[in-house]
């Protein structure tokens, strides 16, 4: 049997059906699955779990010392019970076992010797005010040792603690791992890291690393093992990306070089403002890529209001100048319509192609949405197919719906995190010659993530903002401080009296919405299927438990109408459950100043543009993610009027929720915030989804923490792929890529 076969062996054959059945519940089917199921952390025998932190209903594994045991017979119910008290030194936890006969309990009693240390696992219950585990599974350290020397050794070793399930406690996993690990040799475990690279970096072999993480003798062992496994993950990932990049460079796109006196020049001459230096330089980068014969795949990052639209428009016009067409895709129909308006406004007569008195260079902009009338749709489809429309604006569905283009040269994807993968898939499915792609996002992707996950994209960043914009100041307002709240509404009054507008954002529509579960992140019913912008969101897992109900639009609007500070001020409402015309009416009344205070859900998060809006108040702000709050804040400070953002929250000082709000208050730099967001995500990071994507995916790598390592792996991978594009000299690496990532997962890399 060769190595790969050894690893692919089903656990049922190696461990027997019963054990394998338990492990299957954790998704572990093969020897390799089990070996790649790394301990989550390590206990040391001297350590104790803090019992005061246990919550009822939680499944826990605790390390504790046995203090006492007592077997009692139960007269009332018959049978007997064993009560053991275990302790962390300060608090105690009761373990309870019931049995028909005392004999079974004696067996437990003999293992649970007072003074011994063990791991205990079970669901925390509450019996007469005491925390307890009923019939816990447990492991007493040193009890299984063959002799005393071994017991002493075992008692000094780090104890691997595995991600476990109620049905399979951590030590049973550990025992199974040792059973499969013991007989293996280096030949059985092909190493994805080529020997040369291993030697250069003095890394252990894969087998050595697996032994080190699963059966460490001291702390340095598992640390060294993890380091090497982490590098392996980075290398597999980066090699996959390097190969993808190389493959893309082999594709042919139509070059669309700039022309001297075309639409781009005409637009530049007619713009009511001068481009910022960043818009200029990013424009040059894009112009150059579009001139090339390989498809551009570029991510354009720029904070809210940075002026991405005009950059995209100039790129689209360059393609039109070169005889091609461009498609601009927005995440929602509302935003698509808004894009059409702003493009037509920027273009002026340049969008009146084919019309009397139009500029000879002029083109047309067509809008294609699912909800438009059939006549308008037919006309737009006709203009796209004939080439009369140089620019076609629509939602993402546009490409998959099989809309025909005369010569599609550029696809611009606005405001999304999925990085054009779906669009590329759709285009591939249509068999089109690959167009250039420009993906725009206002939620900045930190450099570390861009490099790790989107390693094959080129990125451009609009690092400055158009001049003359006022800054927005952000404060945290404690929700339980009546004086502060009164001051807040007073401030709202002052703004309104000066002719300005105020948003008040709530996490819920009305009290009934509670049924949807307060633990869920705030969501907004989509306007139409697939019409919801994709946002990268915090899961809100440590937001304070909502013992006080969350603010809702309906209740807040009613409450504000009664506040003495706001007497006589009309309060508008906006949320996703309103009909489209009611939404439009609410927006119009707000924009005109008729209803200068707007209570709403996050529907206003993206794209809404009311320059007189100066104050953004977010209630229960801890319920929202950093990027979402940043987007909300971007709704104010959009003119020369300074903005004010008040985050009303019950988050305790020192909590992660509070830290997120403080990060927001401390900077308006979206990039710094995105980095902070990643840092505060616990398990995770943007790779979170890939990690939970099943077997054999990334486990140890963390984008922020491991940035340097990832960078090193990228260089190694680049050289490797340059020297040996098919990875013939590194077969184990090649198969790790297809096994870990698979064709679908490789795509996943770009989806974030
Ligand atoms: P975003 O990057 O958020 O998509 P937009 O492209 O919508 O930003 O631009 C925001 C506003 O700034 C628009 O009204 C746009 O016309 C304006 N704008 C863009 N570039 C400049 C500039 N260089 N100088 C002044 N205003 C600009
Ligand atoms: Mg925009």
pLDDT digits (tens, 9 = 90+) for 201-211: 999 999 999 99
Q: What is the pLDDT of residue 379?
A: 93
Q: Is a pLDDT exceeding 70 seen at residue 544? A: no
Q: Is the pLDDT of residue 143 over 70?
A: no
User: Which of 12-16, 403-407, 501-505, 517-521 is predicted with the least confidence, judged by mean pLDDT?
Assistant: 517-521
Q: Please report the pLDDT score of residue 749 as a whole number.
A: 45
Which residue bears the tokens 């996950």? 453
Per DSSP, 694 falls in state S
Confidence of residue 160 (pLDDT cuts 50, 70, 90): confident
How many Å lie between the centroid of ligand 1 and the Cα of residue 276? 10
Task: Please report the pLDDT score of residue 519 as a whole number.
Answer: 30
Higher per-residue confidence, 147 vs 314: 314
Q: Indicate the burial class of 644 (C-beta count within 10 angstroms; 0-12, 13-18, 19 or more).
A: buried
Strands 436-441 and 408-414: parallel
Give me ligand 2 centre to Cα 328, in Å. 11
Phi, psi dihedrals of residue 573, rounded to the nearest 5°: -135, 145
SS3 state of residue 266: helix
Query: For residue 319, how far is its CA from the centre of ligand 2 (angstroms)?
Result: 20
Residues with CB under 6 A from ligand 1: 273, 275-276, 279, 302, 304-310, 442, 466
Q: What gap in Å lies between CA 594 and CA 571, rounded to an integer?
A: 9
The reported pLDDT for the residue numbered 515 is 35
Please state whether the predicted TM-score (pTM) of the whole model is above 0.75: no
Distance from the alpha carbon of residue 570 to the mean position of ligand 2, in angstroms: 30
* Residue of minimum CA distance from atom 17 in ligand 1: 307
**pLDDT value of position 147:** 61
Using CA positions, which residue lies closest to atom 27 of ligand 1?
A: 466
**Ligand 1 center–CA 304 separation, angstroms:** 9
Give the closest residue (by CA) to ligand 1 atom 12: 307
The protein residue whose alpha carbon is closest to atom 10 in ligand 1 is 305
Between the ranges 270-279, 416-425, 443-452, where is the mean pLDDT highest? Answer: 270-279
**pLDDT above 70: residue 607:** no
Q: Give the sheet arrangement for strand 472-478, strand by strand.
A: 472-478, 643-649, 613-618, 501-505, 597-600, 571-574
Ligand 1 atom 24, closest CA: 466
| pLDDT for 4 | 59
Task: Identify which of 309, 330, 335 to mutate to test ligand 1's pocket (most ligand atoms within 8 A of the CB).
Answer: 309
pLDDT at res. 683: 33
Q: What is the pLDDT of residue 331?
A: 77
Q: Which of 506-520, 609-623, 696-710 has the lowest mean pLDDT?
A: 506-520
Reported confidence tier of residue 401, pLDDT bands at 50, 70, 90: confident
pLDDT in the model for residue 448: 59
pLDDT of 750 reads 43
Q: What is the distance between the alpha carbons of residues 732 and 743, in angstroms, rounded to a whole number?
A: 17
Say how far apart CA 47 and CA 118 lie, in whole Å.
10
- By most ligand atoms within 8 Å of CB, the mutation choice from 272, 466, 634 for ligand 1 is 466
Least confident of 396-400, 648-652, 734-738: 396-400
455 vs 170: which has the higher pLDDT: 170
How remote is the CA of residue 307 from the centroid of ligand 1, in Å? 3
> In the prediction, which pLDDT does 74 show?
78
The per-residue pLDDT for 455 is: 60
Interval between CA 14 and ligand 2 midpoint (Å): 57
Share of the chain above pLDDT 70, in %: 82
- Whole-number Å distance between alpha carbons of 249 and 506: 47
Which of residues 696 and 178 earns the better pLDDT score?
A: 178
């Amino acid at each position: 049997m060769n190595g790969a076969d050894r690893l692919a062996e089903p656990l049922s054959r190696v461990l027997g059906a019963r054990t394998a059945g338990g492990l299957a519940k954790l998704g572990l089917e093969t020897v390799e699955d089990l070996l790649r199921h790394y301990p989550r952390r390590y206990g040391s025998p001297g350590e104790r779990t803090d019992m005061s932190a246990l919550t009822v209903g939680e499944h826990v594994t605790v390390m504790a010392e046995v203090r006492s045991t007592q077997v009692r017979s139960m007269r009332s119910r018959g049978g007997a019970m064993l009560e053991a008290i275990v302790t962390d030194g300060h608090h105690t936890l009761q373990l309870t076992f019931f049995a028909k006969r005392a004999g079974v309990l004696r067996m437990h009693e003999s293992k649970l010797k007072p003074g011994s240390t063990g791991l205990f696992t079970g669901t925390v219950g509450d019996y007469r005010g005491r925390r307890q585990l009923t019939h816990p599974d447990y492991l007493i350290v040193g009890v299984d040792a063959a002799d005393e020397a071994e017991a002493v050794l075992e008692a000094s070793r780090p104890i691997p603690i595995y991600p476990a399930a109620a049905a399979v406690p951590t030590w049973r996993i550990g025992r199974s791992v040792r059973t499969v690990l013991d007989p293996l040799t280096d030949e059985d475990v092909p190493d994805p890291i080529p020997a040369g690279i291993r030697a250069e970096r003095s890394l252990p072999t894969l087998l050595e690393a697996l032994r080190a993480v699963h059966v460490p003798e001291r702390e340095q062992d598992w640390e060294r093992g993890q380091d090497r496994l982490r590098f392996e993950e980075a290398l597999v990932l980066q090699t996959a990306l390097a190969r993808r990049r190389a493959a893309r460079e082999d594709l042919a796109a139509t070059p669309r070089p700039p022309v001297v006196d075309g639409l781009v020049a005409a637009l530049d001459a007619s713009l009511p403002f001068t481009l910022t230096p960043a818009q200029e330089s990013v424009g040059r980068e894009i112009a150059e890529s579009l001139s090339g014969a390989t498809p551009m795949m570029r991510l354009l990052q720029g904070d809210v209001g940075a002026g991405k639209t005009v950059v995209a428009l100039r790129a689209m016009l360059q393609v039109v100048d070169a005889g091609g067409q461009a498609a601009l895709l927005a995440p929602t129909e509302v935003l698509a319509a808004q894009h059409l308006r702003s493009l037509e406004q920027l273009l002026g007569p340049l969008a009146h192609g084919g019309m009397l008195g139009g500029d000879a260079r002029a083109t047309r902009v067509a809008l294609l949405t699912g909800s438009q009338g059939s006549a308008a749709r037919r006309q737009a489809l006709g203009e796209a197919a004939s080439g009369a429309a140089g620019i076609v604006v629509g939602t993402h569905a546009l490409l998959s719906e099989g809309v025909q283009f005369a010569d599609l040269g550029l696809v611009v994807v606005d405001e999304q995190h999925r990085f054009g993968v779906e669009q590329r898939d759709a285009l591939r499915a249509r068999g089109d010659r690959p167009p250039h792609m420009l993906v725009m996002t206002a939620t900045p992707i930190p450099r570390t993530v861009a490099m790790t996950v989107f390693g094959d994209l080129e990125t451009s960043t609009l690092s400055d903002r158009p001049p003359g914009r006022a800054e927005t100041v952000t404060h945290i307002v404690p929700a339980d401080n009546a004086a502060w709240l009164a001051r807040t509404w007073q401030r709202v009054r002052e703004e309104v009296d000066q002719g300005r507008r105020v948003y008040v954002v709530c996490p819920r529509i009305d009290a009934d919405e509670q049924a949807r579960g307060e633990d869920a992140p705030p969501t907004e019913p989509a306007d139409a299927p697939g019409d919801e912008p994709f946002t990268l969101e915090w899961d809100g897992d440590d937001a304070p438990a909502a013992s006080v109900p969350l603010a809702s639009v309906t209740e807040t609007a009613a409450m504000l109408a009664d506040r003495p500070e706001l007497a006589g001020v009309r309060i508008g409402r906006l949320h996703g459950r309103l009909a489209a015309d009611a939404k439009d009416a609410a927006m119009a009344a707000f924009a005109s100043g008729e209803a200068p205070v707007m209570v709403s859900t996050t529907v206003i998060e993206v794209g809404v543009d009311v320059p007189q809006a100066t104050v953004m108040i977010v209630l229960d702000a801890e319920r929202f993610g950093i990027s979402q709050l940043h987007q909300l804040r971007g709704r104010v400070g959009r003119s020369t009027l300074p903005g004010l953002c008040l985050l009303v929250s019950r988050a305790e000082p020192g909590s992660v929720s509070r830290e997120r709000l403080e990060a927001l208050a401390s900077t308006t730099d979206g990039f710094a915030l995105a980095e902070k967001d990643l840092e505060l995500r616990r398990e995770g990071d943007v790779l979170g989804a890939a990690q939970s994507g099943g077997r054999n995916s990334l486990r140890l790598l963390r984008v922020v923490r491991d940035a340097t390592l990832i960078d090193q792996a990228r260089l190694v991978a680049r050289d490797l792929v340059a020297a040996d594009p098919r990875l013939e000299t590194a077969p184990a690496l090649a198969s790790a890529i297809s096994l870990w990532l698979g064709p679908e997962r490789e795509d996943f890399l770009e989806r974030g």
